[in-house]
Amino acid sequence: MDPEAFLDLANQVTKLKMYPYFDLAHAALCCLAVRDDLANGSLPFSRKRPLALWASSMLVIFAGGILANLLLGEPVLAPLKNNNQLLLSTVVWYLIFYSPFDVGYKFFKFLPIKVICAALKEVYRAKKVHDGVTHAAKLFPNAYIVMIAIGAIKGNGAGFVKIGERLCRGVWTPTAVEFLVPNFSTKASILAALIFVVDKKTDLISAPHALVYFGVVIFFVYFKLSSLLLGITDPFVPFENLFCAICMGGVFDVIQETFYGKPSTEENGEVSKPKQNNALCVSSYHNTDKCY
């Protein structure tokens, strides 16, 4: 492709408007995730608790903006001020949970439609990460960690509010913290936010900003489609394992096991301690101790 034509295409991608097609794809996949999380209980729950289900779904759809505003000290409900977006999300939610004969759910679960929605959502994700980094840079010009954090939260807010949205449905799962087991979307959003920060605040990247943005979009779309079609779940895992082995004590643990042996562990993974005698000793009036 001609370099000028490629740059022109990149510029067009940066100017894409998210409403309504990209917002629709994002809302559809978020509602599908909520319904899949409910599993077999989705039908009875949707009939008995429609308000809780709607609140949970809207929290997932607008999670990035709500959580970012909360961290930045801005109005938390500001992402809900766009009536058109809210109405579109509500219509998509209704179709997925309440359409006759489950037509809406089956339509969005149909693989070609799901692939299209996934591709559109990844473009949407790149836009949100970029907007989060840009907005945080205006408020905190030299706080690089804040920019990366807000960009990542904007990109995958649903992962960070999973506990809250389940709590709206009456389910308490404290182990579902995104920091414990971050998914690929969170890791990719952090990497994209880091690239945008380096591009914005340093001279290390000499390529035009539009090409950097377009490269992030291609990265998101490629790996998302690879996950759907080829089953590639997380390409970061090999690099994480290598990093942990070198920098997080993995090598030293192997050396210690080689020379000193592996410490015995109990079923819960803790190092076993020597057992103490828990027998109850009673002194009798004959000054003799008896243990039971």
Q: Judge residue 280's burial from the number of C-beta atoms within 10 Å of its C-beta, 0-12 exposed, 13-18 middle, 19 or more buried.
A: exposed
At 276, list the tokens: 């103490």
Question: What does the pLDDT read at residue 249?
Answer: 81
Rounded mean pLDDT of 74-79? 95
Note the pTM of the prediction, 2 decimals: 0.86
Report the C-alpha gap between 33 and 182 in whole angstroms. Answer: 16
Question: What does the pLDDT read at residue 254?
Answer: 81
Rounded mean pLDDT of 93-110? 96
What are the distances in angstroms from CA 170 to CA 37, 40, 139, 284? 13, 16, 36, 56
- Provide CB contacts within 8 A for 166, sequence distance 6+: 37, 56, 172, 173, 176
pLDDT digits (tens, 9 = 90+) for 160-176: 999 999 999 999 998 88
Question: What does the pLDDT read at residue 62?
Answer: 97
pLDDT category of residue 288 using cuts at 50, 70 and 90: very low
Q: Say yes or no to pLDDT of 47 above 90.
A: yes
Cα 131 to chain centroid distance, Å, stands at: 17
Q: Exposure string (b/e) for 32-67, b if CB count within 10 Å is 16 or more?
A: bebbebbeeebeebbeeeeeebbebbbbbbbbbbbb
More confident residue, 168 or 251: 168
Q: Nearest Cα to 122, choosing from 27, 218, 20, 212? A: 218
Report the C-alpha gap between 38 and 264 in whole angstroms. Answer: 40
The percent of residues in the chain predicted with pLDDT above 70, rounded, is 89
More confident residue, 21 or 292: 21
pLDDT digits (tens, 9 = 90+) for 132-152: 999 999 999 999 999 999 999
Q: Say yes or no to pLDDT of 207 above 60.
A: yes
Question: What does the pLDDT read at residue 265?
Answer: 58
Report the C-alpha gap between 206 and 185 in whole angstroms. Answer: 26
Mean pLDDT computed over every residue of the chain? 89
Question: What does the pLDDT read at residue 190?
Answer: 97
Question: What does the pLDDT read at residue 282?
Answer: 43
Report the C-alpha gap between 93 and 108 in whole angstroms. Answer: 11
Number of other CB atoms surrounding residue 118 within 10 Å: 19
Q: Nearest Cα to 169, choosing from 39, 71, 23, 27? A: 39
One-letter amino acid at 52 equals: A
Q: Nearest Cα to 164, choosing from 155, 176, 154? A: 176
Q: Nearest Cα to 61, choosing from 173, 148, 161, 141? A: 161
Question: Quick check: 47 and 98 in contact, CB under 8 A?
Answer: no
pLDDT category of residue 51 using cuts at 50, 70 and 90: very high
Rounded mean pLDDT of 207-214? 95
At 129, list the tokens: 């990460």
Residue 289 three-state SS:
strand
What are the distances in angstroms from CA 259 to CA 168, 255, 262, 270? 52, 6, 9, 21
pLDDT category of residue 287 using cuts at 50, 70 and 90: very low
Q: Say yes or no to pLDDT of 86 above 80.
A: yes
Q: Exposure string (b/e) for 166-191, b if CB count within 10 Å is 16 or more?
A: bbbbeeeeeeeebeeebebbbbbbbb
Q: Say yes or no to pLDDT of 270 above 90.
A: no
Rounded to 5 degrees, what angle do the CA atoms 214, 215, 219 make?
115
User: Could you give the count of Cα atoms lying within 13 Å of 42 in the half-sphere of its Cβ?
Assistant: 19
Question: What does the pLDDT read at residue 264?
Answer: 62
